[in-house]
Amino acid sequence: MKTRLIIAASVVVLAPAQAMAAPPTLQDSIGGPEWVTLSGSSRLRYEALEGQPRAVLNATDEQLAIRTIITAQADLQGIKVNAELHDSRAWLTKPGGVVSANEVNTFELVQANIAGDVSLGGGAKLSLQLGRMTLGLGSRRLVAADDYRNATNGYTGLRSDLRTKNGLAATMIYVLPHIRLPDDLPSIKAQQPQWDRESFDLQLWGGLVSHTGLVRQLTLEVGYFGVLERDWPGRVTRQRDLDSFSARLIRDPRPGKVDFELEGIYQSGTVRASGSTSAAILPVRAWFMHADAGYSFSGPAKVRLSLEYDRASGDEPGGKFGRFDTLFGMRGADLAQSGIYNAIGRANISAVGVRLEKGLANRWEGYLTYKPMWLASRTDSFSTTGVRDLTGSAGNFAGHQVEMQLRYWLVPKFLRGQLSAVNLSKGRFLRTAPNVVTGADTRYVATTISVHF
């Protein structure tokens, strides 16, 4: 595994970095007509992990994954027809390793929709989109298309966006989230194509309202999303019937200025206590909060330094379900990337963080973070590791996480290399809880080459 990692890393380091013109694009190859646009990308990533932090899985793991996306759009006099084909595949996973429909989803038409705008007068505009689509709404903590994960989230339904001249904006959705198929291990390993499932057994609705340009360049956003999930033949679910209410206050980063973000989400409803059909249906009382404050330094490097805090409730004894559900949200911007690491998510966690990030300048961008992490509830499983101590005697300190990511355009707008790494120095809980795989510290490295055409 280490030999393969060195080879994969050398691809990023030794690839030609000299300035050169990007080759012709997919759009150039078709030569018109002007009302049709075509683009694509392909991403090859090798991941290696030692000191598995998650329960049940192998102590070491590796994966080679590739994702190819072809996007097409036809502009028919104001009505746009969009299509996007995703092909996600993975190899090298051994029995007991990580491979699922999160990594493998072949020949899937993730987007196939029509969209258009309607002028409402007074500078207001209404945009409508109908069909299969990807979504990234608000902070993307509840509804998103995860870009780091090899297979993304798709949705089928209706989206509407209202924009006004005075800074008021609203987005509303009613969609059926896609259930990626196939989801049985033999079919996944065989990379078999199968149309993702969409049905009224899994529904998502709601929206966001925001106002930009309040006092001192503040943006206020409030939102609501509802989820209804039911069993269907061959699949037992958690029978989620959840209501999530959010509020967010933002001041965007600007050179030489202090910025911040505050978001709180309260969740209520009902959920099945486990994946068993005989499990009780419990009332839900859960919550999440994120806070960060940062400063962007003046200058061409676009450097920002920030302090962060995230807390997501965990389950406690007492007949109510208290574990926060991030629905279809992404995790990378706040906590850690997914991939075969996928250990730190928005559930039963309390984490303080320091982040140093560099925006895109001189073809470089990236970030470095440090986070000590605790369990919000000692008796619930820590975050998304599945590691749990029902007695609470293993304590509540999970460990120290250091994460780094660097991206560099080897050929601008065409070829980009990326290096991602995580070191998790395990605390008492992740070393002594009853179902830990290994007490060794976790080391995760991923090297990526992306081609855009």
Q: What is the pLDDT of residues 261-301, one digit of tens each?
A: 999 999 999 999 988 888 999 999 999 999 999 999 999 88
Is 376 part of a structural domain of the chain?
Answer: no
User: What integer pLDDT is reported at residue 214 of this predicted model?
Assistant: 74
Q: What is the CA radius of gyration of the chain?
A: 22
Q: Three-class SS of residue 116?
A: strand
The letter for the amino acid at 22 is A
Backbone angles phi, psi at 187, to 5 degrees: -70, -35
Paired tokens of 267: 């969740």
> d(Cα 61, Cα 89) in Å, to the nearest integer?
17
Q: Are 68 and 87 in contact (CB under 8 A)?
A: yes
> d(Cα 84, Cα 107) in Å, to the nearest integer?
10
User: What integer pLDDT is reported at residue 2 of this predicted model?
Assistant: 52
> d(Cα 16, Cα 35) in Å, to the nearest integer?
35
CATH number of the CATH domain containing 209: 2.40.160.100
Average pLDDT over residues 3-17: 46
How far CA 435 is from CA of 55, 73, 87, 387, in Å, comes to: 6, 50, 35, 6
User: What integer pLDDT is reported at residue 30 of this predicted model?
Assistant: 78
Q: Are 53 and 387 in contact (CB under 8 A)?
A: yes
> d(Cα 1, Cα 8) in Å, to the nearest integer?
11
pLDDT band at 20 (very low <50, low <70, confident <90, very high): low
Q: Are 149 and 168 in contact (CB under 8 A)?
A: no
Q: Does the pLDDT of residue 5 top 50, yes or no?
A: no
The letter for the amino acid at 323 is R
Is 370 part of a structural domain of the chain?
Answer: no
pLDDT band at 23 (very low <50, low <70, confident <90, very high): confident
Average pLDDT over residues 33-62: 96
Is 374 part of a structural domain of the chain?
Answer: no
Percent above pLDDT 70 for the chain? 95
Q: Does the pLDDT of residue 407 top 70, yes or no?
A: yes
User: What integer pLDDT is reported at residue 318 of this predicted model?
Assistant: 86
Among 344, 342, 429, 343, residue whose Cα is nearest residue 379: 429
Q: Are 61 and 49 in contact (CB under 8 A)?
A: yes
Q: Does the pLDDT of residue 197 top 50, yes or no?
A: yes
Other Cβ atoms within 10 Å of 247 Cβ, number = 13
pLDDT band at 429 (very low <50, low <70, confident <90, very high): very high
Instruction: Spell out the alpha helix ranges (H) of 115-268.
Output: 185-189
User: What integer pLDDT is reported at residue 381 of this predicted model?
Assistant: 98
User: What integer pLDDT is reported at residue 10 of this predicted model?
Assistant: 45
Other Cβ atoms within 10 Å of 164 Cβ, number = 14
Q: Does the pLDDT of residue 31 top 80, yes or no?
A: no
Is 160 part of a structural domain of the chain?
Answer: yes
User: What integer pLDDT is reported at residue 328 of this predicted model?
Assistant: 97
pLDDT band at 7 (very low <50, low <70, confident <90, very high): very low
> d(Cα 452, Cα 132) in Å, to the nearest integer?
23
Other Cβ atoms within 10 Å of 92 Cβ, number = 16
Average pLDDT over residues 362-385: 97
Is 366 part of a structural domain of the chain?
Answer: no
Average pLDDT over residues 21-35: 80
Would residue 399 be called left, alpha or beta, if left means φ above 0 and alpha means ψ between -120 and 50 degrees? left
Domain that holds residue 268: 2-291+316-330+394-452
Is 379 part of a structural domain of the chain?
Answer: no
Q: Please count the structural domains in the chain.
A: 1
Among 448, 308, 453, 432, residue whose Cα is nearest residue 382: 432
Mean pLDDT of the chain: 93
Percent above pLDDT 90 for the chain? 83
Least confident interval from 20-24, 33-37, 75-79, 162-166:
20-24
User: What integer pLDDT is reported at residue 11 of this predicted model?
Assistant: 47
Residue 298 burial class via C-beta count within 10 angstroms: exposed 0-12, middle 13-18, buried 19 and up:
exposed
Q: Which residues contact 334 (CB under 8 A, 6 or more apart)?
A: 141, 290, 308, 310, 346
Q: Does the pLDDT of residue 260 top 60, yes or no?
A: yes
pLDDT band at 127 (very low <50, low <70, confident <90, very high): very high
**Residue 247, beta-bridge partner list:** 222, 264
Average pLDDT over residues 173-195: 95
Q: Does the pLDDT of residue 59 top 50, yes or no?
A: yes
Q: Does the pLDDT of residue 64 top 60, yes or no?
A: yes
N-to-C CA span, the chain: 31
Q: Does the pLDDT of residue 257 top 70, yes or no?
A: yes
Average pLDDT over residues 99-121: 95
Q: Are 32 and 17 in contact (CB under 8 A)?
A: no
Other Cβ atoms within 10 Å of 86 Cβ, number = 22
Q: What is the pLDDT of residues 331-373, one digit of tens each?
A: 988 999 899 999 999 999 999 999 999 999 889 999 999 999 9
Average pLDDT over residues 60-64: 97
